[in-house]
Structure 1
Amino acid sequence: MLFSVLIPVYNAEEYITETVQSVLKQSEQDFEIVLLDDGSKDNSREICRQLCNKDASKIRFYYQKNSGVLFARRKLAELSKGDYLLFVDSDDLLEKNALSAIKYTIQKTHADLVVFDLMKISDKGNERYTLPFENNQIFHSHEKYSIYCELLKTKYLNGIYQKTFKRDCFDFEANYDDVKNMRIAEDIYQSMPIMDKAETIAYIKEPLYIYCKNHGGATSSVKLNDIKWDYKLYDRQNEYIKKWKISDEDIQTISENRMRRILGFLSVYAKQNNDSSYKQFKEYARSIKNNKYYMEAKEKASINNLQKIYKLDIVLLKMHCYHILFQLHKRV
């Protein structure tokens, strides 16, 4: 079997049928679908069971207590039988000829990993995530540096669902217990070891994946404690920055992105609608100054490249002007 299409399901009763149908209607039919309900509280479990019963030759279905999307994906990988793995979120879609295009590229290039564009659909309009490479571009050995940087420096290659990879590229034996409940940044966190193991990477400059961002999924809203997952991500990024020998110039860009992210959480804290919002905001603002990730990013970033709001944040933090900061971010 060529492909295992792996779909973690959580509270997706409104969307899972359409998602599965987008796979079943593929022009390339050498695949299996593996569904894993991750402790849904709605009717997803029953819908998945019905889908499996209706097309048992193509679909396998499993259920587990809620473990979060990262662990659900890892369980799906263990259950898979295909030579190549592809994750699809339970409210997203595959373009009709996606598997056919990926198969053609695999046959032509013998790639261990195929990456492709996605189309992000939301209430605000559509946005195509595309990479600055040629269609059918191949990356070997030292040529992979540019695609490593694209993963580390931009948002356009973060999604694990933008990648189809040989099962040998998946880190089955790795221990992820310290990030079991990771609810943001889990895609890029899992993508780094996959890209590292792939000897040959091929790129398809077509939006084969349709990402539907209007369903209130796990990443639709940022919560106060989510910054801790960013710090876990930075630790892993630092490992690969060293392993991939990322240049100082590219580290500067990565550091500037980290500055934006850490300072951006000031707005998350400021916009809470509760009586303790200022207290929590002040605690977070105070913690930033001595935070090792902030200090490292500030040292390696070029502050001049940051937007005015972040430059102002840096000045106000240094002056301990927390109330002014609070009022500023409530309005941003």
Structure 2
Amino acid sequence: MYFSILVPVYNVERYLHQCIDSIMQQTKQNFELILVNDGSRDKSGEICEEYRSKYPDQITVIHQENRGLLLTRRTAIARARGDFVIFVDSDDYLRGDALEVIEQAINRYEADLVLYKYARVTDEGRVTESKAEFFHGEVFTKDNKKRVYERIMEGALNSLCIKAVKLNLIDVERDYSVMSHVSDGEDLLQSLPMLTYAERIVYLDEALYFYRYNTASIMHTFNPGKVESIITVESQLMQYMVKWGMDDAHGWELLYNHRLQLIQAVIWQIVLATELSDGERMRYLHELSGEPFFVEAYDGATDPVLKPVWRLVMLLMRKGRIKTINMLIKAYQALPYRKTKK
């Protein structure tokens, strides 16, 4: 069995050594590593070349002009030669025996797709494992795969980085360039065909992937293209919902709640965007309140899975009470515990 490990690289010189070392020091060495430098402006490209010189038989380095994460991953996929593909982001890293554990699971359960847990790591070294979605070693086939689809529609298991996928499950020939604008949800976008065509999926209750979470590096800015990205991905999810036989009342309830959670994230991003004036913030919220994507979800969800405060915010959004929302935002921002200590 041979693995292709795909790593998109962009301006991560601080973390790239740890990422690549975690791969090259795996207890199983039956893999190729494909690094795609997506127009980095720091020393990431040089670091990639250093490792290629050290491991010329295992590492391929591709340099390209900046194309974004979605198309960078597609570049790597097109070069993959392994039986299975593993995705790693360049500021994250793998557990030392990840490949060994994954290979054992593939052989034991005859799986063509392996799901596993991740652990969130802060720069201070705090590690928090994600919760288990299923039992360890639980296998999903056409008879019970709907349970996996339900979790996908609830917003779980979306990341490519918690999946080892048989190469022939990936839609290698598909042209994703028409979706190059997608900056949010690209993992889900590419996961949908893999999960659909997998005949045997196994879940491992083990954290094999370490996801770096640095609150200090989170930019409090608003990306106006976020909503368009979400709508594009959700339109694809709707198509697969039909393929999965989930276009019933239960399926639509899951979809609408998923949308409301995404809308919540957009609102929160607008709230935290320090570069926005009050007028700009109100304009974005007003546009969002009239977006059919939101209106359909709010009106369609019979039991929104939202905390009380967010139910109130969504109600105000639906009624167009943007000024009231802005007042709540100002009150929130004035809370003493949010003030930066000198």
If the length of structure 1 is used for normalisation, what is the TM-score? 0.91
Contact kept, 8 Å, 2:39 with 2:66, in 1: the verdict is: yes
Helix, strand or coil: the match of 2:211? strand
1:89–1:215 distance in 2 versus 1, CA, 3 Å? farther
What is the rounded CA distance, in whole Å, between the counterparts of 1:289 and 1:200 in structure 2? Answer: 41
- 1:193-219 CA deviation, whole Å, 9 max, x = no partner? 111121111111100111112288899
Identify the residue that residue 185 of structure 2 maps to in structure 1: 185
Identify the residue that residue 171 of structure 1 maps to in structure 2: 171
Identify the residue that residue 116 of structure 2 maps to in structure 1: 116
Helix, strand or coil: the match of 1:35? strand
Identify the residue that residue 300 of structure 1 maps to in structure 2: 300
Question: Which amino acid is 2:310 matched to?
Answer: Y
Answer yes or no: is 1:312 the counterpart of 2:312.
yes
What is the rounded CA distance, in whole Å, between the counterparts of 1:14 and 1:215 in structure 2? Answer: 16
Displacement of 1:255: 1.3
1:1-332 alignment to 2 at 5 Å?
2-122=2-122, 125-155=126-156, 157-214=157-214, 223-246=223-246, 247-274=248-275, 277-303=277-303, 305-330=305-330, 331=332
What is the rounded CA distance, in whole Å, between the counterparts of 1:287 and 1:150 in structure 2? Answer: 30
Contact kept, 8 Å, 1:3 with 1:30, in 2: the verdict is: yes
Q: What runs of 5+ residues in structure 1 fail to find an aligned partner?
A: none
Contact kept, 8 Å, 2:112 with 2:201, in 1: the verdict is: yes
1:133–1:220 distance in 2 versus 1, CA, 3 Å? farther
Contact kept, 8 Å, 1:269 with 1:280, in 2: the verdict is: no
What is the rounded CA distance, in whole Å, between the counterparts of 1:329 and 1:303 in structure 2? Answer: 25
Helix, strand or coil: the match of 2:89? coil
Identity %: 27
1:271–1:119 distance in 2 versus 1, CA, 3 Å? closer
What is the rounded CA distance, in whole Å, between the counterparts of 1:161 and 1:105 in structure 2? Answer: 17
Question: Which amino acid is 1:61 matched to?
Answer: V
1:304–1:226 distance in 2 versus 1, CA, 3 Å? closer
Contact kept, 8 Å, 1:39 with 1:64, in 2: the verdict is: yes
Moved segments of 4+, more than 6 Å: 215-221
Question: Which amino acid is 2:171 matched to?
Answer: D
Helix, strand or coil: the match of 2:279? helix
What is the rounded CA distance, in whole Å, between the counterparts of 1:76 and 1:215 in structure 2? Answer: 29
- 1:308-328 CA deviation, whole Å, 9 max, x = no partner? 223222443354432221121
1:123–1:324 distance in 2 versus 1, CA, 3 Å? farther
1:215–1:304 distance in 2 versus 1, CA, 3 Å? closer
What is the rounded CA distance, in whole Å, between the counterparts of 2:32 and 2:216 in structure 1? Answer: 28
What is the rounded CA distance, in whole Å, between the counterparts of 1:95 and 1:256 in structure 2? Answer: 34
Helix, strand or coil: the match of 2:144? helix
Q: How many residues in Structure 1 have an aligned counterpart in Structure 2?
A: 330
Contact kept, 8 Å, 1:4 with 1:80, in 2: the verdict is: yes
Helix, strand or coil: the match of 2:121? strand
Helix, strand or coil: the match of 2:143? helix
1:166–1:267 distance in 2 versus 1, CA, 3 Å? closer
- 1:269-324 CA deviation, whole Å, 9 max, x = no partner? 244334x6222233233323432211221232135643222322244335443222
What is the rounded CA distance, in whole Å, between the counterparts of 1:41 and 1:57 in structure 2? Answer: 27
Contact kept, 8 Å, 2:123 with 2:212, in 1: the verdict is: no
Question: Which amino acid is 2:135 matched to?
Answer: E
1:60–1:278 distance in 2 versus 1, CA, 3 Å? same
Displacement of 1:228: 1.5
Question: Which amino acid is 2:226 matched to?
Answer: D
1:38–1:291 distance in 2 versus 1, CA, 3 Å? same
Helix, strand or coil: the match of 2:145? helix
Question: Which amino acid is 1:272 matched to?
Answer: A
Q: What runs of 5+ residues in structure 2 fail to find an aligned partner?
A: 334-342
Displacement of 1:266: 2.9
What is the rounded CA distance, in whole Å, between the counterparts of 2:270 and 2:242 in structure 1? Answer: 33
Helix, strand or coil: the match of 1:143? coil
Contact kept, 8 Å, 1:270 with 1:278, in 2: the verdict is: no
